[in-house]
Amino acid sequence: MTEDRSADRSVPVDAPGGSYAVHIGRGLLARAGELAGPLAGAERAAIVHADALPGPAEAVAAAFEARGLEVRRFPIPAGEDAKRLDVVAELYRRFAEVPLHRADPVVAVGGGAVTDTAGFAAATWLRGVPLVNVPTTVLGMVDAAIGGKTGVDLPSGKNLVGAFHQPVAVLADLDTLATLPAAERRAGLAEVVKAGLVADPALAEATATRATAAIAGHPDALAPLVEGAVRIKAHVVGADEREGGLRAILNYGHTLGHALERLAGYTGLRHGEAVSLGMVFAARVAEATGLAAPGLADGHVQLLSRLGLPVGGIEVDPDAAIDAMATDKKARGGLRLVLLSAPGQPQVVPAPERALMAELVRSLAKDPAA
């Protein structure tokens, strides 16, 4: 767990596909042009941003203009509505009109859906142009904007079309989090808890301890939590860029979480809320199969409840959920789950028999925190 510091901080990510820094601090939007790095030969910058976020996009555009680049802004839908192939196709059309050349950066400003979509467009336009990520949500800062995973959804599943494309810089301006609804900050903290549960239990506990201030958007409370999660992801990505083994642990809670999002039509259930439910499910699977001692699931429920995240109270067709989980990208030779034998001790294991999984999906109908 990183101690809080008043100064801005920079976390290095050393991946085979590219090394870069994740800058974490306040007032970074105005320094975006400077912090983006060399960008040798660039003449233009394409600012791709959520259409609901004109303010941060304007600040970033001004910073790149001050650097001497011609700037074009491309708004796209907010949330999961951005993660569609037709949105990417429209970006291609507009990149061609500029025209955007191979040295010109795509700058993604927004939440994880924006960085996923803009990153995929950057990865595939001219077979790859520089990408600068400027995440404006907790989820984006601690997860989506780091590590090079880009992609969009299909009706048959989440993130099924994508590419690995490392950014050249990531700018996590904590001031942008103050404008979010508290529910969005709360949901984003589920990813910080996830990082802690798989790699640093002290970070998970610190997230619950700082929950009130962090959910309220106080930068001093959020800074060490964001930095702690970023350092975990940077370490994992540096060791396993393309999910050959270790990186899969970052999907803790996501196998069922993604299935729940898909069954909800990507509306009404935030990603972090779905992951929270997915972590409770995973803990119950670990206990039921004997991988973990009794008490792991209750510990998850107590921890996540302290942040006000859902731990039950959701009714879902078990068969539909299991079928949706079968499209998970970790399903090699059958469905696999990320489970914990204890906090900080993750394993990727074959899923248990369908009847047991169905029983444990049904168990989420009861809310133990109620």
The catalytically annotated residue of 83, 186, 251, 336 is 251
The answer to whether residue 235 is catalytic is no
Q: Which of 31, 158, 231, 247 is catalytic?
A: 247
Residue 251: closest CA among 270, 274, 224 = 274
Quick check: is 247 catalytic?
yes
Q: Which of 185, 186, 210, 271 is catalytic?
A: 271
Active site annotation includes 243: yes
Q: Which of 80, 243, 261, 273 is catalytic?
A: 243
Q: Is 251 among the residues known to form the active site?
A: yes
Q: How far is CA 224 from CA 18, 189, 219, 276, 367, in A?
A: 25, 12, 9, 21, 30
Catalytic residue of the set 254, 270, 284, 329: 254
Burial annotation 122-146 (CB, 10 A radius, 16+ → b, else e) = bbbbeeebbbbbbbbbbbbbbbbbb
| Non-local CB neighbours of 106 within 8 Å, separated by 6+ positions | 45, 46, 48, 100, 118, 119, 121, 122, 125, 129, 130, 131, 132
Alpha helices in 210-270 (DSSP H): 211-215, 219-239, 254-263
Catalytic residue among 3, 93, 97, 127: 127
Look at the alpha carbons of 163, 234, 238, 333 in this order and tell me if their dihedral is positive or negative.
negative
**Which listed residue (191, 227, 273, 287) is catalytic?**
191
Q: What angle do CA 8, 167, 22 make, to 5 degrees?
A: 15
Q: Which of 9, 23, 83, 149 is catalytic?
A: 149
**Would residue 194 show up in a list of annotated catalytic residues for this protein?**
no
- How far is the C-alpha of 321 from the C-alpha of 324, rounded, in Å? 5
What single letter denotes the amino acid at residue 226? V
> Is 5 labeled as catalytic in the residue annotation?
no
By annotation, the residues acting in catalysis are: 127, 149, 191, 233, 243, 247, 251, 254, 258, 271
